[in-house]
Structure 1
Amino acid sequence: MTMVEQAGGYSVVGFTMKDLYNKLDQQRRTSPFESDFEGALSYMRALAAKDPHFICRFTTDLEDRLVDIFWRDGHSFVDYQCYGDVLIFDSTYKTNVYNRPLVLFVGSNHHRDSIIFGAALISDETEETYTWLLRTFLESMNWKMPKAVLTDSDEAMRKAIETVMPEARHRLCIWHIGKNAFTHLKSEEKLKALNRCVRKYQTVEQFERLW
């Protein structure tokens, strides 16, 4: 005899099949990051076995669950040593299956191709987390400091860069500037004027006059 039959029906069990399905669905949607922890680390260890210069760093919480993880390979290290003067520090907002920010460290080579210096999945977009991530990134790159860092207008990113990379010039990404301008400047004439001001090669005096 089942527990349902012993209790006298589903209504008096207290935890029905629907509750069970709801619980399983909730777990599938809210905890894939933690459940994939061992798989992710096994994959990272496999990459490290093939690449002696591969680096992976991560943090855990008090319950030994994965919180933040950063990785880069040996090829990325060489690229950064050659082309790391300008660093794009970009975060996408929870668009992956784990519902967590994905951070990419990106540069440009001598062919103007985008190259990846490193990547990370982080728990949140706070100054503390970004500070840990930037320090981890620099440590993995033998503390080579970029000359300029491009980001969006995220305040936590800006503060973390000031703390970890005080010598680097922080600039806003032109793509985000253009997107904000398109949102707030309703005049096509003003948008064209802004584009000429920002994108054309010119002296400081020419920029000031156009601005």
Structure 2
Amino acid sequence: MAKLSIYLDRENSAWKVCKVILDHNHELTPRGMMHMIPKFHRISDAAKANIDGMRGYGVSTSKILGYMAGVAGWYSLLGFTKNDAYNYIDHMRWAKVVNGDSNAAIVYLEGKAAADPMSMARYNVTKDGMLANMFWADGPCRVDYQYFRDVVAFDSTYKKNKYQRPLVIFSGSNNHKQTTIFGFGLVLDETMYSYTWMLENLSEVMCNKHPSVVVTDGDDAMIATVKKVFPEATQRLCAWHLQKNIISNGGE
């Protein structure tokens, strides 16, 4: 029913309105749902301040959104979508990362995400704006995790890169007894803080599905982190590392 009719008044060389009907044959979008329309996506300054403040204390994105949704009444009443929040956080991370290899790595992973919508990457930065920890997983990794996450190997013993950063590999075995990779990560150091960040982001990217068994190399910080993030998971030592330690430390 809504209509706007105009015509060209050639004598005066001007466009004029001849008919206006403001009635609609459907209800308009409620004001509280306008943020769901792409054109009106916007995070308020107050919401940005809340997000920045809680992230400064190490609160994960999912917990931040859960808290803000609880205060607002539900996710639909936040005034923005979850994707808006993740995009804002990624933008703030990007602004803090200095140019160089770290920036190139992030650009590469964002390019992979453009080609594979299920591909996801997470990273944080140090106080100096340098890249600290990074986690990434593509679509096949995330799908395999949903099916074969019962036993996850958590290994960070690889340092064969010029930065000497520990490379974390999350792996498992599929139903053909073939090794399958669930995700990768680079950690700043082998501390409980870095490992906690890594496991929490693994959990978030994998839809908060936790493994039943986690296999580690016996590192104290790693064991404590698994117990904290995956409290219900059983921990086991890697047989390869166990054999290596016996050979290295055993007497002749």
TM value normalised by structure 2? 0.59
* Structure 1 equivalent of residue 135 of structure 2: 70
1:183 CA displacement:
2.9
Structure-2 residue corresponding to 1:121: 186
- Corresponding position: 1:132 with 2:197: yes
Counting only pairs closer than 5 Å after superposition, residues 128-207 of structure 1 correspond to structure 2 as 128-186=193-251
In the comparison of the two structures, how many residue pairs are matched?
A: 155
Deviations, residues 8-33 of structure 1 (Å, cap 9, x unaligned): xxxxxxxxxxxxxxxxxxxxxxxxx9
Query: How far does residue 93 in structure 1 lie from its aligned partner after superposition?
Result: 4.4
By how many angstroms is 1:52 displaced?
Answer: 0.6
- Alignment correspondent of 1:89: 154
1:54 equivalenced with 2:54 (yes/no): no
1:34·1:66 contact (CA, 8 Å) conserved in 2?
no
Provide the C-alpha distance between the structure 2 equivalents of 1:96 and 1:130, rounded to a whole number of angstroms: 19
Distance 1:110 1:93 in 2: 26
Contact kept? 1:86, 1:148, Cα under 8 Å: yes
Q: Secondary structure of 2:214's partner? A: strand
Deviation per CA, 1:39-64: give whole Å up to 9, x if none.
Answer: 11110111000111111000012232
Aligned position for 2:172 = 107
**Any gaps of 5 or more consecutive residues in structure 1?**
1-32, 188-211
- Give the Cα separation in 2 of the matches to 1:35 and 1:99: 17
**Alpha-carbon contact 1:148-1:169 (below 8 Å) kept:** yes
Structure 2 counterpart SS, 1:98: coil
Identity of aligned residues (%): 44
Equivalent residue of 2:175, what SS?
Answer: coil
CA contact 1:47–1:54 (8 Å) conserved in 2 = yes
Letter in 2 for 1:48: A
Report the residue type matching 2:180 in the other structure.
I
Work out which structure has the larger RCO, using CA pairs closer than 8 Å and 6 or more positions apart in sequence: 1
Helix, strand or coil for the counterpart of 1:179?
A: helix
Distance 2:228 2:140 in 1: 27
As a proportion of its length, which structure holds more helix?
Answer: 1
> What SS class does the counterpart of residue 99 from structure 1 fall into?
coil
Unaligned runs of 5+ in 2: 1-97
Local SS of the residue matching 2:143: helix
Higher Rg of the two aligned structures = 2
Whether the 8 Å CA contact 2:158–2:168 is kept in 1: the answer is no
Measure the CA separation in 1 of the matches of 2:204 and 2:249: 40
Deviations 1:113-146 (A, max 9, x none): 1111000111100011101100000110001110
Distance in 2 (CA, whole Å) between partners of 1:45 and 1:87 is 26
